[in-house]
């Protein structure tokens, strides 16, 4: 390789590291995502062409590597096991801790550092000469698991730092966690596939950090905040930290090196500690990640040493745990909401209560059967729980509080929005409004149409949609393309500039690819993935509209349910009119080039049973990204059956037909 290319590679690494830090740690990017991606792609290509120069600290490593068969064990520094924290559940218990600290430090003055207790998984990172060499889970505190490849995929973990003199070897410890938005995305993906859901972001982060295949971890958007720095000599003995004699100064040092650290508040007394605790209790719902308490630590390292530790906990720190996010309240009434497809969802109106810092007055009840199963009645006292989701759920009824005046829920027979009949098809859990011109359905359809994942019309939000409907400016999604600047100007609080933004973003959406248009139309059973498959198989919407159910079913991944739904959708005049209106407005209805790369090209896979390390969608994506297909049934044409836990009848069929069966590890090896 030329010196030029070598220099370029080194420069790229430094640049990318700097931008990663600006973006992920400091939240202050200097370049756009597109520019960043271009730098990363350049680095990946250079490393691919010159494998000898692909070092362990390269940012390109973050995409994840080949899967391991099991996680190896790592012994933590024997001089410094990873301890846990003693807990306090009340101000009294905190006071007791404070008195113990005062007593043990004699009459000396001291300060506390107070910071959030993140609800994730404890982990350790070891750096040698500035390079991340080992990442491990806390495990039992003495031994953990080697998750080096996985921690490298976490964007807030620097792979290389400019360590100051005296820090040739150091360890940082912290918490790996999953932000709520990533948790919700992951669970909705799993739900769509009928897979098991993670109970909370903590379980999801633990599951994701301990995966055997780091390329899947890379998709899980984990983060890490570090709260301990240990500098050691070559024998592993702790040394003084250069330039830091307290927790808050050590955190400043780590921040300067590019780590993400907690927001530390240094305070002088217990009253101030309690103030910080109360202020976080108020804002913790808005943090974007779960915290289950606050950690109160003696700030000075010298004083920490004096206090020492028991075999389990340091005597210089305590965790204050917030009370559980469950409360009881009165369920006042049950009303019904109408969704985009006419689905009727019962919702509980509650006497407002505060759960985990936020006021709650509504809870979802899912469907009629759920209400029956939990025997939820209007007037009941109920236990509600606020998890990672925005809207809380009813856990159970406190039946001992019943007075006899509670009313059972009856699904209304008429739609609350349009008065049309409500029907519940046999075998389905969901009741639906049959109205073809239901205003509630239309509003939800428009919200779906304009969503980021569909036509991506970012200046047309729910409030604007309400106004457009109210002023009768639109009657279906295609009408959006026919409103003018003057129409928008007439709406409330619309200045010339914002009206222009609305029109511009509608205009821009006309070039969305065909799969987004198909998804935006809201055809039943056509989610983002199915829409993509359809767009890959038809040159334009006209070919799709005239396809028979048989033709559609011949496409891999399209089953009879989708095939029928698509052809019924396009057989309806209203929907064909919608297409014509979109066409007339100049919306793109042609498929672009949607070809995939071709490594396992042409092979057919079937998935069965529950996969431990990834969702079905993730497995499917992995397979398809290499030019292979996933089908639902085992046939003579099937090349591989990937078998998870509790496989169904597909395994038997595969054996009968002599299809190769791969367990999860073998599959990962092949597709990795």
Judged by the rule CB under 6 A, the positions of this chain that interact with ligand IVH are 83-85, 115, 117-118, 122, 138, 175, 227-228, 262, 295, 314, 317, 319
Closest listed residue to residue 178, CA positions, set 259, 287, 280, 290: 290
Q: Where are the beta strands (DSSP E) in 275-367?
A: 291-298, 317-321, 326-338, 343-355, 358-364
In the β-sheet with 131-137, what is the strand arrangement from edge to edge?
A: 131-137, 121-128, 169-177, 223-232, 238-239
In the β-sheet with 629-631, what is the strand arrangement from edge to edge?
A: 629-631, 604-608, 640-643, 660-663
Cβ 264 vs Cβ 251: under 8 Å:
yes
Cβ 592 vs Cβ 565: under 8 Å:
no
Kindly state the smallest distance separating residue 638's Cβ from ligand IVH, in Å: 45
Q: For residues 289 and 519, which CB has a smaller minimum distance to ligand IVH in the complex?
A: 289
Residue nearest to ligand IVH as judged by C-beta position: 122
Kindly state the smallest distance separating residue 238's Cβ from ligand IVH, in Å: 13
Q: Indicate the angle between helix axes 616-624 and 664-671, nearest 10 degrees.
A: 30
Provide the pairing of β-strand 291-298 with 393-397. Answer: unpaired
Q: For residues 238 and 364, which CB has a smaller minimum distance to ligand IVH in the complex?
A: 238
- Give the whole-angstrom CA distance, residue 611 versus residue 293: 33
Q: For residues 230 and 623, which CB has a smaller minimum distance to ligand IVH in the complex?
A: 230
- What tokens does 112 get? 């506390």
CB neighbours of 24 closer than 8 A, spacing ≥ 6? 155, 156, 260
Q: For residues 264 and 671, which CB has a smaller minimum distance to ligand IVH in the complex?
A: 264
Kindly state the smallest distance separating residue 83's Cβ from ligand IVH, in Å: 4
- Give the whole-angstrom CA distance, residue 487 versus residue 416: 30
> In degrees rounded to 5, what are phi and psi of residue 528?
-60, -40
Kindly state the smallest distance separating residue 289's Cβ from ligand IVH, in Å: 11
- Give the whole-angstrom CA distance, residue 421 versus residue 416: 10
Alpha-helical segments (H) within 358-461: 368-374, 439-450
β-strand partners of 396? 383
HEC sequence for 204-222:
HHHHHHCCCCHHHHHHHCC
Q: For residues 227 and 320, which CB has a smaller minimum distance to ligand IVH in the complex?
A: 227
* Residue bearing tokens 């807030």: 156
Q: For residues 230 and 555, which CB has a smaller minimum distance to ligand IVH in the complex?
A: 230
Q: For residues 76 and 190, which CB has a smaller minimum distance to ligand IVH in the complex?
A: 76
- Give the whole-angstrom CA distance, residue 108 versus residue 104: 9
Kindly state the smallest distance separating residue 53's Cβ from ligand IVH, in Å: 37
Q: Which residues are catalytic?
A: 117
The DSSP call for residue 260 is -
Kindly state the smallest distance separating residue 607's Cβ from ligand IVH, in Å: 35
Angle of CA points 62, 68, 69, to nearest 5°: 160
Alpha-helical segments (H) within 478-572: 485-489, 496-508, 514-520, 528-537, 541-545, 549-553, 560-571
Q: For residues 237 and 543, which CB has a smaller minimum distance to ligand IVH in the complex?
A: 237
- Give the whole-angstrom CA distance, residue 365 versus residue 234: 59
Kindly state the smallest distance separating residue 316's Cβ from ligand IVH, in Å: 9
Q: For residues 105 and 378, which CB has a smaller minimum distance to ligand IVH in the complex?
A: 105
Kindly state the smallest distance separating residue 248's Cβ from ligand IVH, in Å: 12
Instruction: Report helix, strand or coil for 92.
Output: helix
Kindly state the smallest distance separating residue 415's Cβ from ligand IVH, in Å: 48
Kindly state the smallest distance separating residue 354's Cβ from ligand IVH, in Å: 24
Q: For residues 38 and 278, which CB has a smaller minimum distance to ligand IVH in the complex?
A: 278
What separation in angstroms does the CA of 357 have from each of 17, 326, 413? 37, 11, 38
């Amino acid at each position: 390789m030329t010196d030029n290319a070598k220099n370029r590679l080194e420069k790229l690494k430094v640049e990318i590291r700097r931008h990663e830090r600006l973006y992920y740690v400091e939240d202050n990017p200097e370049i756009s995502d597109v520019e960043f991606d271009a730098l990363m792609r350049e680095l990946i290509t250079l490393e691919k062409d010159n494998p000898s120069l692909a070092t362990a600290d390269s940012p390109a490593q973050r995409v994840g590597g080949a899967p391991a068969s099991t996680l190896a064990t790592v012994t933590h520094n024997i001089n410094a096991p990873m301890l846990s924290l003693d807990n306090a559940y009340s101000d009294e218990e905190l006071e007791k801790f404070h008195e113990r600290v005062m007593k043990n430090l004699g009459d000396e003055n001291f300060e506390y550092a107070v910071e959030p207790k993140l609800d994730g998984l404890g982990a350790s990172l070891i750096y040698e000469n500035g390079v991340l060499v080992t990442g491990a889970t806390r495990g039992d505190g003495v031994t953990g698991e080697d998750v080096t490849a996985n921690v490298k995929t976490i964007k807030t973990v620097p792979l290389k730092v400019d360590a100051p003199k005296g820090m040739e070897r150091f360890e940082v410890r912290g918490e790996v966690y999953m932000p709520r938005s990533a948790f919700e995305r992951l669970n909705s993906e799993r739900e769509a596939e009928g897979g098991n859901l993670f109970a909370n972001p903590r379980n999801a982060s633990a599951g994701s950090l301990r995966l055997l295949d780091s390329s899947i971890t890379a998709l899980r958007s984990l983060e890490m905040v570090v709260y301990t720095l240990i500098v050691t000599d070559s024998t592993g003995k702790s040394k003084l930290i250069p330039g830091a004699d307290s927790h808050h100064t050590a955190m400043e040092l780590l921040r300067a090196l590019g780590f993400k650290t907690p927001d530390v508040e240094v305070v002088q007394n217990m009253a101030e500690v309690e103030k910080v605790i109360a202020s976080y209790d108020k804002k913790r719902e808005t943090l974007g990640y779960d915290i289950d308490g606050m950690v109160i630590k003696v700030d000075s390292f010298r004083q920490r040493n004096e206090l020492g530790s028991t075999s389990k906990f340091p005597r210089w720190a305590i965790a204050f745990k917030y009370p559980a996010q469950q409360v009881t309240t009165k369920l006042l009434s049950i009303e019904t909401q109408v969704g985009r497809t006419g689905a009727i969802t019962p919702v509980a109106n509650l006497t407002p209560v505060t759960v985990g810092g936020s006021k709650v007055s509504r809870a979802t009840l899912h469907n009629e059967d759920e209400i029956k199963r939990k025997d939820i009645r209007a007037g009941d006292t109920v236990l509600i729980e606020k998890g990672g989701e925005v809207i809380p759920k009813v856990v159970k009824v406190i039946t001992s509080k019943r007075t006899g005046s509670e009313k059972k829920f009856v699904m209304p027979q008429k739609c609350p929005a349009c008065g049309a009949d409500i029907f519940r098809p046999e075998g389905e859990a969901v009741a639906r409004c049959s109205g073809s011109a239901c205003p509630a359905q239309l509003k939800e359809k428009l919200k779906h149409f304009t969503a980021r994942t569909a036509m991506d019309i970012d200046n047309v939000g729910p409030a604007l949609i309400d106004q457009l409907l109210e002023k009768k400016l639109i009657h279906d999604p295609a009408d959006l393309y026919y409103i003018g600047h003057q129409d928008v100007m007439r709406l409330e609080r619309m200045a010339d500039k914002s009206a222009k933004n609305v029109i511009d973003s509608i205009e821009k959406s006309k070039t969305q690819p065909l799969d987004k248009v198909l998804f935006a139309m809201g055809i039943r059973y056509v989610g983002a993935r199915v829409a993509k498959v359809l767009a890959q198989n038809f040159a334009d919407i006209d070919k799709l509209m005239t396809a028979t159910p048989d033709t559609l079913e011949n496409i891999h991944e399209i089953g009879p349910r989708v095939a029928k739904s698509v052809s019924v959708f396009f057989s309806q005049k209203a929907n064909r009119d919608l297409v014509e209106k979109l066409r007339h407005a100049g919306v793109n209805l042609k498929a672009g080039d949607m070809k995939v790369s071709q490594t396992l090209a042409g092979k057919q896979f079937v998935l069965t049973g529950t996969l431990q390390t990834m969702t079905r969608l993730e497995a499917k994506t992995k397979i398809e990204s290499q030019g292979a297909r996933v089908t639902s049934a085992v046939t003579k044409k099937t090349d591989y059956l990937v078998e998870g836990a509790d496989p169904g009848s597909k395994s038997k069929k595969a054996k009968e037909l002599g299809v190769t069966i791969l367990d999860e590890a073998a599959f990962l090896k092949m597709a990795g």
